[in-house]
Amino acid sequence: MTDEQFWSIIHDSRTAFDPSHRDGNMHKQKERLAMLLSSLTLDDIVGFDTLFQEKKKELYRWDLWAAAYIFDGGCSDDGFSDFREWLISMGEEVYTRALKDVNSLIGVMDRDDVEYPSFEGFWHVPTVVYEKKTGKKMPYILSPTRLGEPVGQDWTEKDLPLRFPELWAQYGSR
């Protein structure tokens, strides 16, 4: 599975969205992703999952955790995991821009097709598809849970308005 193929599948999984309606789009994306993955070879499903885990790990950064915290008025480690899944589900452009500049997320959360900036269980779709096709557990190349510390500079809640003034101005008072 190449990076280009990975992002093409993510892009295609979003094609069932109703751009004028928030509710239900995440569910539609999960269903579409499952359908797309089920047509792949087992090696490609594992490859997709491996790339997903790599991309999710790359998003394990303090600045992105701050964004998730500001968007939601708080963010646990599980919540941050779901936020990173959401970032991947939004596609390559949102993902890449967020890695370069956390302020690129301003407005993304407010798009008409976005239910919520968190996508619990999106990473699990390849596992479900693999297990349905084989009756066996997914062979994990990367552990989805062993991450250590996020990359970058740690923060406290009181730091957020000064460290992330643009995000704070837009979402901090919600």
How do the domains of the chain map onto residue ranges? Answer: 3-142+149-171
What does the H/E/C string look like for 39-97? CCCHHHHHHHHHHHHHHHHHCCEHHHHHHHHHHHCCCCHHHHHHHHHHHHHCCHHHHHH
pLDDT at 18: 74
Q: Which pTM was predicted?
A: 0.92
Nearest alpha carbon to residue 138 among 147, 129, 146: 129
Number of Cβ within a 10 Å radius of residue 152: 14
Task: Give me the sign of the Cα torsion angle 91, 37, 31, 52.
Answer: negative
Nearest alpha carbon to residue 9 among 21, 18, 39, 118: 39
pLDDT at 166: 95
pLDDT at 173: 66
- Report d(CA 131, CA 158) in Å as an integer: 45
- Report d(CA 100, CA 94) in Å as an integer: 10
Cβ partners under 8 Å of residue 103, min gap 6? 164, 166, 167
pLDDT per residue rounded down to tens, the chain (174 residues) = 999 999 999 999 998 777 777 777 888 999 999 999 999 999 999 999 999 999 999 999 999 999 999 998 899 999 999 999 999 999 999 999 999 999 999 989 888 777 778 888 898 999 999 999 999 998 876 555 556 889 999 999 999 999 999 999 999 866
- Report d(CA 105, CA 102) in Å as an integer: 6
- Report d(CA 2, CA 96) in Å as an integer: 16
Q: Check if the beta carbon of residue 82 is closer than 8 Å to that of residue 172.
A: no
- Report d(CA 37, CA 123) in Å as an integer: 12
pLDDT at 61: 96
